[in-house]
A and B are shown apart, each in its own frame.
Chain A
Amino acid sequence: MSALLEVAELSVTYRAEGGDVNALRGVSLMAEAGEVIGIVGESGCGKSTLAAALIALLETNATVGTGEVRLNGRDILSLPEAERRKLRGHDIAMISQDPMTAFSPVLTMGDQIVDFQQHSGLSRAARRARAADMLRKVGIADAEICLRRYPHELSGGMRQRVAVAAALMANPALLVADEPTTALDVTMEAQIIHMLRSLRTEINGAIVIVTHHLGVIGELCDRVYVMYAGQVVEEAPVDDLYHAPRHPYTQALIACDPGALGAGQGVLPTIPGRPPDLTAPPPGCGFAPRCPLADGTCHSKPPPRVRVSAQQTALCHKVVS
């Protein structure tokens, strides 16, 4: 039997002024129902593009080169737009990055959250009652008052709770959260993570969390995909990723994580260099120019995907299984 979500060798290109951007270059991943997977990587590595592909809502200047995104065995990217629209908000839900701009400023929260349940077939009054229940579940005590508010009258944390509630109400098979806590301050972030954790059992489908913050991954995820320059460079269960990272990029990423720093270490280490230009990706390994282990082969030949254990792989010439 196939997995709930399967992404197979997905390539996505943006048509742009200064040359086409190869935002995704053969990304594969999978998630089972009940699983929480994390996508982590530096800014610009293609995380949001992947998230957009997962909800079948790529930008208009994006084209899918090869590959598929299969949800319950169906390739959602090849469906006509009308079919994809039926999936969104029903089988697939999204929590967006920026709670400040995620809602229409001229409609009340209630009005929008009622609209968002249009696949439910319920009356507006019934949807509103459901929304109030869900808001209480995500920790908003004055649900009725919240529904009457406009977005700008709520704090960022409150708005993000409403966004989570809206997504949960779809009871989706796949929930995609693109940087759900990045725009929030540290205490808010902790609260939202705590809430997402306690709600994990409420969600029957798979959850994909996109972030550049390793701490979020550690708190919430079962398995992690590390992305670099449009590729998945390492895949591992969350514990293995922290304790036995194999790809040099993952190792550097973990060494740079402020949360994982030991005492006495004054300066925050950073990875020297910058990611490659995605308009002209290098023939070899994308990380080679920044990699301490890189040799001639790394620069000239695409790296193989090496299986390290049943659940862990790395895209690297230097990793041996």
Chain B
Amino acid sequence: MLGYSIKRVALALLILVVVMLGMFAMVYVIPGDPASIALGPRATPELKALLIQRMGLDQSLPNQIWHFFRAAATGDLGIDVWSKRPVLDVILEVFPKTLLLGAVSLCWAVVLGIGLGCLAVIWRGTFIDRLLGVLSVSMIAVPSFVIALYSLLIFAVWLGWLPAIGAGQSGDWGSQARALILPSFAIGVSWVGYIARLVRASMLEVMGANHIRTARAFGLPETVVVLKYALRIAIVPTIAIIAIGAGSILSSAVFVETVFSRPGIGTLITGAVEKRNYPVVMGTVLFMTAFYLFVVTAADLLIARLDPRVRDVLRG
């Protein structure tokens, strides 16, 4: 298990390095000189030269890369060209909002997805099973920004039950929670469909297994058979999907935060791209990549823990 953990973490770090190199290459192919953009049309050549020097754009490429890596390793992601604040501070200021949005979305997805998946298994072959199937597929098919727009229209504009934009008043938990409902639902709902389908499929496979028959032969109640004996095994592929989903949920957050005008990583990165605020763009992408790799690696290690057979293979 320890050897495996080290391998997984090393792989994650390697991917991170590759992403950083890729990002560097990308900044170079995008048109537009960051220094001129930052200073505006009326910049003097002196000022421009000063800024180029400050941003390190005059140094050789390997040198720039080296500096970038060394700085990133110590948590220094550069300085926001506009606000002159450290990029890491800017990110950390909005990241909790995106994280909260993502986490609540994931909760919707996991709770509803596993719940509906289990219901479909308990009522397999009946009308309810088929209805849940149609529902799941439509939830997968509709993109999250469409759901975002329609739910905005229905619940905020027509019914007026929930706020349309913003993240709620700071300090007022109730208003912040209400502001979370619509965007998180919009993001989570397509994953409800995925997870419900996946849970149903892997559950049905597990339900045919011999040990489920043993559990039934000893008269265990169907709920215990489903929840303890089947779900525990069926959940393993679902965790892998949820980890991948975490990445997708973060990218949906970019859209949904824009639709709902919520402060967060999504609005931060779209704003930074528009203004060619390179340090912020690079820092944010780097930060999110690192976070995503962390989630996927953690999920892999969790799967290894949940299934004692995997655990033993890894130990041996």
Binding site for B on A (CB under 8 A): 55, 57, 85-90, 93-94, 96, 98, 101-107, 112, 115-116, 118-119, 150, 152-153, 163, 166, 170
Can you list 15 pairs linking A and B with CB atoms under 8 Å apart? Answer: A55-B217, A88-B219, A96-B213, A98-B210, A103-B214, A104-B211, A104-B229, A105-B307, A105-B308, A105-B309, A106-B233, A106-B309, A116-B215, A118-B221, A119-B219
CB distance from B109 to the nearest CB of A (A): 23
- Which residue of the partner chain, among B210, B220, B221, contacts A96 with CB atoms under 8 Å? B210
A-side contacts of B213, CB under 8 Å: 57, 96
Question: Number of contact residues on B: which range applies?
Answer: 20 to 34
A-side contacts of B306, CB under 8 Å: 106
Closest 5 CB pairs of A and B: A89-B219, A89-B218, A88-B219, A101-B210, A116-B218
Measured CA separation A86–B216 after assembly (Å) = 10
Q: Which residues of chain B in 202-244 are interfacial with respect to chain A, using CB atoms and an 8 Å cutoff?
A: 209-211, 213-221, 224, 228-229, 232-233
- Known contacts A87-B219, A93-B218, A94-B217: does B209 contact A101 (CB below 8 Å)? yes
Tell yes or no: B312 within 8 A of A by CB.
yes
CB distance from A20 to the nearest CB of B (A): 18
CB <8 Å contact, B312 and A106: no
- Which residue of the partner chain, among B211, B220, B233, B309, contacts A89 with CB atoms under 8 Å? B220
Binding site for A on B (CB under 8 A): 209-211, 213-221, 224, 228-229, 232-233, 306-309, 312
A-side contacts of B309, CB under 8 Å: 105-106, 150, 152
Measured CA separation A5–B308 after assembly (Å) = 41
CB <8 Å contact, B218 and A150: no
Measured CA separation A106–B311 after assembly (Å) = 11
**Chain A residue at smallest Cβ distance from B217:** A94
CB <8 Å contact, B308 and A115: no
B-side contacts of A57, CB under 8 Å: 213, 216-217
CB <8 Å contact, A152 and B308: yes
CB <8 Å contact, A106 and B307: yes
Measured CA separation A118–B218 after assembly (Å) = 8
- Which residue of the partner chain, among A98, A105, A106, A166, contacts B218 with CB atoms under 8 Å? A166
B-side contacts of A119, CB under 8 Å: 219
